Structure 1
């Protein structure tokens, strides 16, 4: 049923139509009551054909109106249809009221004082019904009301001539005309008020629609990455939550993947953000095309994207999808005259096979993405049961780190970095060690990985640095200390300031200290890391890049950070015996470092055969078990003394 509140959705013509349709039943009942009253009063006074024939023709017509309007109220027709229906109804009302009034005046010829009173009351009631029941038909209602007044006057004239009531005629006319004017004015005000109400509500409805459109646009913007025009991080997790709920309901599999572009940071830093933005947009389009048949693509931030793969948790299918994505991303891209080639790594986790919630899906996909990058990049890795065991073991390590008394449990061992031709140690690298009260000795690779992934490394670094500096304070003044930092240590200025404070209080000359950081860590946020590391360099300390050459050689980082040394990834040295290409690579990097007046350290030397393959790579420094395994601080002095004796002996 149409209510007044519905009018806010209608035009003015539709609102008039709906209002009349709503009140038409009451008007029909009133019409029937008037017909019945007039006919019944004149049954004993007038011939049957005078009081009986007119209702026979009028009532069916009124019934037809009722059915017609009732059938058209839901839904309300269009504005044009309503306007046409109202025009037709206005004409019909005028003709029907004219006929009705004429019939009543004609019946007054057989009238008595009582019947005349009934006729007058009926025509007065009709006047009220017309002015207020049909005030939406403003012109028609006024014309019909005038007809009723004319009928009242004619009835009065006939009553005067037949019954001799002339003494009341003047007052009757004044009352009728005055009453009509007052009622007409009130009806007009109702019409004006109704019109204003409808127009106001219609205006509010339009504003509400615009507000709704703005809200939808705001929601779209909030869920869209403005650069690439794909879903953003917020949209990703919202859609993932919905997809998980659907998978739980249907029992069908669901997978979540994360992709990280390899080499984007270097392109962005070298060629500028405009090229970087165009590159990201192009890569997003490639991903969208690749994933169109499988699911949805989102940008999580920076050069990291994610996708939801619907209706599958099959590992082989996911590897196939990941390999297709990697192949697509690795295709050359031409931007502004540049020929750019990137790589990527992909990690997948599945519901319900290996994850139960959106948080687990993200964490486990991110974990295997890290494994893919650590395994050499350009790989698709799917989270499997063996990774679950590793994650669970890592969780044990994490809990022990959080609960441990790290000041007591952490200690440092040292491994020398030597000039192999002078057979002289130049500095020592501090290597973290941890003996947990609950787990016992924990492999460095195991607890450092967990510390890096959870950010707990920022708790470890200050403790380890203090212990390393305390040992270095007892060494000869020409022996340096090398200490490793993580990305978490340099991403925030306050953490770097803590390190400078520890260095200032240590009693060790900052010029003897070199802070190492992995090349891959700096590529994630070069500008901020460079700015923060300058605070360390301002003290006189040096900065070195480690794990260089495993993925890319970022020469621009040498300039950005003012590095004084680079340390090659240990895998290059370890594979010398099996890979003929590694020796030329090491020699080329060493030659480049020499040209830039930067020390080059070959890490991971374990056999004489490996060293022999590097004899032509000058000048290089070396580190590895071939010369000395990591040792505790007490043995450093003994090692240095032995080294001096060997040099002296010639």
Structure 2
């Protein structure tokens, strides 16, 4: 049964091995001209020598037809020699070749047998020689087609050997035996050659597979090194490599390009509210939107977190650049589906031109970052092009940073205090400490300026320490019913160790912790919500109070109120500007007051400057207030005099209302 299976396999097409079938056809295609050359030349030589001693149909017509068929087949091969067959078409083609080989073997063998009796012994010997040489030559041309070679060998050897045996001539019988043995040897050669051929094909296939695997690994390594796996955008490394290449090209050709930095506004809140998995989905969507905007001269990359970069290889005019930035911002501002909800984000872009804004990669990137920073401060969700104003700002920031690093903070930092008043009891209940800095070279530096720089450089830790000690020293002199309100930076609570440092300063001051209220803005909380919650919980457990400052100006404020240990919410001053004339502002303030009342939290309304504003918020249910109407911030030396006054002007106005 096994031998029969192997025989059937030897005489069939290897359909399950596409590479082998393709290789067989390719190899045979190279042998076709030689195969038909052997047939035509040998047949013509035998036919010519038999003209006159054999009938015309055997010596002229029949061999002429056979030779013509060979020439036609050869010409057909020439026309289609470059074709590439699919496996589905290659298998039938191979089967057809096997059948054609059988038909040609029958035709040429039959012609030889009919021709053999004619002529002298020399002509008969020529026919026998013709059969032997032609069979051997054709078999070697068909070595790649094992089934065809076996079929040809079987038909030719068996038919001619049988014919010779039946002649009864001892010489011809010996010749038949010899041809049969040679045929058997040829069969072994065919089998061995075919196995070697198949092994080579399989080895090449494995080599190609190995090379493809190596190439895939190489491509994967390149992808890992150059492509951001989350968004499929080029990564930071690829971005800076392209930036460096563009800068070198631009310097060599006196050309230029634009660098853009994109930052998502509100992404941090998505991570905090919905989790990092949802944040990753948002980043993937951002990547898809940026890829949809990509053009041959427009290169996007993810630099890390929610920051993206863009290179514009040509140098469009500013209006065109702004239009491009607006298209990008519009795309990024479309709603995002997150955990079954809709998240609203926007993107701010800072543009800088090379070489106008900077002649090095570091400079142009820094200028784009400065434009981005300016946009996030005042023009979120829009493109901003770096200008001389930003250059002035960078220089000023560098100067302030340098002076702050080398300042004698103990001597140069001081405090002003602004009262927080209870309009019902007409008494001051606390004072907020406000940091101030006067530098010998810079003069008075605005708090928002030096605090921002101190936070960026982490000098805020030292600033907080100095100001907090000074504030606690002053609070120790106040009446015990007054509390101190002190602002903390996100840097002050970004680790548990830093929160502990703040607690230790309070403990060392001698001021009871319950008299100290630490204010933290919502923006500071959202930078690292979990760590902020941990740090604020530590501060609360130490006995201090915790306030949420600037309520209503950030993202998703309500989501933080019940998740953080707040004692007080301070309504941002922006709602007070038109609270006495705008119904929407009044509704917002009323909602916050009701929220605080329901959650058992205190509420302080900031930014009150007129008696009518006080009258409105008092009617809404507000009690604790702060603003210029009651008192502007005062130096520490003026606090005692303020507290000694029987009735403060602002409280009097509040009482009269």
TM-score after normalising by structure 2: 0.68
> How far 1:513 moved relative to its partner?
3.7
1:460 is the counterpart of 2:462: no
Rounded to whole Å, the distance in 2 between the matches of 1:62 and 1:334 is 72
Using a 3 Å threshold, how does the CA distance of structure 1 residues 504 and 156 change in structure 2: closer, same or farther?
A: farther
| 1:237–1:13 Cα change, 3 Å | same
Query: Does residue 413 of structure 1 match 2:417?
Result: no
Conserved in 2, the CA contact under 8 Å of 1:8 and 1:204? Answer: no
Match of 2:534 in 1: 531
The answer for the alignment partner of 1:431 in structure 2 is 435
5+ residue gaps in structure 2?
Answer: 1-14, 650-657
Distance in 1 separating the partners of 2:377 and 2:578: 16
Q: CA deviation at 1:97?
A: 3.5
Contact 1:262 1:344 in 2 (8 A): yes
Pair 505,64 (structure 1): closer, same or farther in 2 beyond 3 Å: farther
CA shift, 1:547, in A, is: 1.6
Distance in 2, matches of 1:286 and 1:52, equals 76
Instruction: Please list, as runs of the form range in 1=range in 2, the aligned pairs for 1:203-242 lying within 5 A after superposition.
Output: 231=231
CA distance in 2, matches of 1:371, 1:565: 32
Residue 398 of structure 2 corresponds to which residue in structure 1?
A: 396
The CA distance in 1 between the partners of 2:400 and 2:198, in whole Å, is 72
The answer on 1:16 being equivalent to 2:18 is no
Give the CA deviation at 1:433.
3.1
SS of the equivalent of 2:538 reads helix
Corresponding residue for 2:72? Answer: 64
Aligned length: 613
Selected match of 1:547 from 541, 546, 550: 550
CA separation in 2, counterparts of 1:232 and 1:361? 25
Answering whether residue 442 of structure 2 is matched by residue 443 of structure 1, we say no
| Deviation readout 1:438-481 (Å, 9 max, x if unpaired) | x67643323433455xx42xx22321232124324533534654
Q: Deviations over 1:342-367 (max 9, x none)?
A: 75544234575998999999988876
Change (3 A) 1:362 1:416: same
Structure-2 change in CA distance of 1:335 and 1:125 (3 Å): closer
Query: Post-superposition shift, 1:20?
Result: 1.2
Contact between 2:329 and 2:382, CA under 8 Å: does it hold in 1? yes
Q: CA deviation at 1:95?
A: 3.7
Give 3-state SS (helix, strand or coil) of 1:560's partner: coil
> Which secondary structure state, in structure 1, belongs to the residue aligned with residue 349 of structure 2?
strand
| Alignment deviations for residues 58-88 of structure 1 (CA, whole Å, 9 cap, x no partner) | 4443332223224323232344543443344
In structure 2, do the counterparts of structure 1 residues 502 and 69 end up closer, same or farther at CA, with 3 Å as the change threshold? Answer: farther
Match of 1:94?
102
Deviation at 1:236?
11
Matched, 1:627 2:631: yes
Partner Cα separation in structure 2 for residue 112 and residue 606 of structure 1: 135
Q: 1:349 to 1:630 in 2, by over 3 A?
A: same
Question: Contact (CA 8 Å) 2:367, 2:386: kept in 1 or not?
Answer: no
Distance 1:63 1:450, change over 3 A: farther
The answer to whether the aligner puts 1:520 opposite 2:523 as a matched pair is yes
SS at match of 2:348: strand
Q: Pick closer, same or farther for the CA change 1:44–1:366 going to 2, 3 Å.
A: same
Aligned to 2:654: none
Question: 1:33-182, aligned counterparts within 5 Å?
Answer: 34-35=42-43, 42=49, 56-101=64-109, 106=115, 110=119, 122-150=130-158, 153=161, 166=170, 172-182=175-185
The answer as to 2:187 corresponding to 1:188 is: no
Does the aligned pair in 1 maintain the 2:263–2:349 contact within 8 Å? Answer: no
Task: Find the counterpart in structure 2 of residue 563 from structure 1.
Answer: 566
- 2: CA distance between counterparts of 1:473 and 1:360? 43
| 8 Å contact from structure 2 (residues 469, 509) kept in 1 | yes
Shift in Å at residue 244 of structure 1?
A: 12
State the alpha-carbon separation in 1 of the partners of residues 127 and 28 from structure 2: 26
> Shift of the alpha carbon at 1:549?
3.0
Instruction: Say which SS state the counterpart of residue 85 (structure 2) adopts.
Output: coil
**Does the Cα contact within 8 Å between 1:466 and 1:506 map onto a contact in 2?**
no
Contact 1:232 1:300 in 2 (8 A): no
Deviations 1:298-353 (A, max 9, x none): 999999999999998636645875896699659xx9998x9x7x755442345759
**Superposition deviation, residue 615 in structure 1:** 6.5
**What aligned pairs does 1:244-263 form with structure 2 within 5 A after superposition?**
258=262, 260=264
CA contact under 8 A between 1:410 and 1:435: conserved in structure 2? Answer: no
When the two chains are superposed, the root-mean-square deviation of aligned CA atoms in Å is 6.2
C-alpha distance in 2 between matches for 1:388 and 1:278:
33
Taking structure 1 as reference, are residues 461 and 274 closer, same or farther at Cα in structure 2, changes over 3 Å only? closer
2:352, 2:80 → 1: CA distance? 53
For normalisation by structure 1, the TM-score amounts to 0.68
- Give the Cα separation in 1 of the matches to 2:45 and 2:446: 107
